[in-house]
Amino acid sequence: MIKRNQGDLQDQKVTGYQSVLGVTQTQTVRLPGIRTQSGHEFAHVDIAYQTLGKLSPARDNAILVCHALSGNAHLAGLHPETGRPGWWDYHVGPGKAIDTDKFFVICSNVLGGCNGTTGPASPNPSTGKTYGMSFPSVTIRDMVAVQARLLEHLGIEKLFAVTGGSMGGMQALVWAVERPDQVRVCVPIATCTSHTAMQIAFNEIGRCAILTDPNWNTGNYTDTCRPEHGLAVARMVGHVTYLSEFSMTHKFGRNRQSATEEMFSVESYLHHQGQSFVKRFDPNSYLYITKALDDFDLFAGQPAAEVLSKVHARFLVVSFESDWLYPPAQSRELVRQLKRTSVPVTYINLETEYGHDSFLINNPPFSNLVRHYLDNEYHRE
């Protein structure tokens, strides 16, 4: 059975939760900047990142994990200040799907984020004030370019694997397509090559909730007067899309929060998700990152066969039957394109019942699949 179908660990109560990794640290490094696809020149970028495990003498066991929209560099282990587990603690650690006894694992906060990497809340070197909405537009490819800067800093020339779910899967795809000589294995999870109209629509609702909050102030809000209501509503809308009808019915049904309250349990849950999210996320980052998601197109108007013909990696593509935000049809289309260009690919659609969040929760079938695939590929001659 799949347990604790509550989604993002960072939004959960953590009383009694123990991580086999114990307390883990993230760090921040300032590195030479990049030229974004929009043409902006960053003189330097700050990158928050975490590493777990040890790099092998042959330097052939590095795995880059790319986070989704609400994630950050704190991949696994307990946060030293909050005590909260990393967002993929269920799946990263000794003996887990991504085994830190075997692999050297790297995760960094994306460009445009708000957890240590340069983003809208960072100081603009030319003004000394926060960027706010003067921050340049960023793309998934820009995020990958910053990750590549970090790997150069760490002295890692090639990755054994790159993986991630949702937005993280988009980053993994870019790595395999645009840096084919650096990636041996690519594991995109619950993702797509470009957003559909429905996926864009849900993100636009979230953006509008922020933009119409009186405290947004054209992006020039302060720490004490932020558009928290708008961001909370955006998170509530997004979180509904991460679940499934089964998981919501199974967990909440039509239960009331208590015998004396009129609020349904699901209402209380969504309010909690919204309120906890605003404590750790920047509203402007939400605007920038969701736009990067919507603008992403792996093939960018080119024939898929032409783009994928350069790929050297072997693929494991994973989807979830109950995921209605990134439905299996999108993964199957990616698999068809890979097969048409003779890229080695394994495709698994798991019959889990917990929607898009199936890659974040304690999900033994998913864990076993990823662990066995990575082990087999690592020992492949």
Catalytic residue set: 166, 323, 356
The label of the residue with tokens 């994306």 reads 110
Instruction: For Cα atoms 306, 309, 315, give the angle at the middle one, nearest 5 degrees.
Output: 125
User: Which residues pair with residue 78 across a beta bridge?
Assistant: 23, 85
**8 Å CB contact between 131 and 124:** yes
H/E stretch holding 286: helix 283-295
End-to-end C-alpha distance for the chain, whole angstroms: 35
Read off the tokens for 140: 């998934």
**8 Å CB contact between 86 and 74:** yes
CB atoms within 10 A of CB 348: 15
CB atoms within 10 A of CB 166: 27
**8 Å CB contact between 163 and 292:** no
Whole-number Å distance between alpha carbons of 282 and 287: 9
Instruction: For Cα atoms 375, 376, 380, give the angle at the middle one, nearest 5 degrees.
Output: 120
Read off the tokens for 28: 């921040």
Whole-number Å distance between alpha carbons of 71 and 231: 15
H/E stretch holding 200: helix 197-211
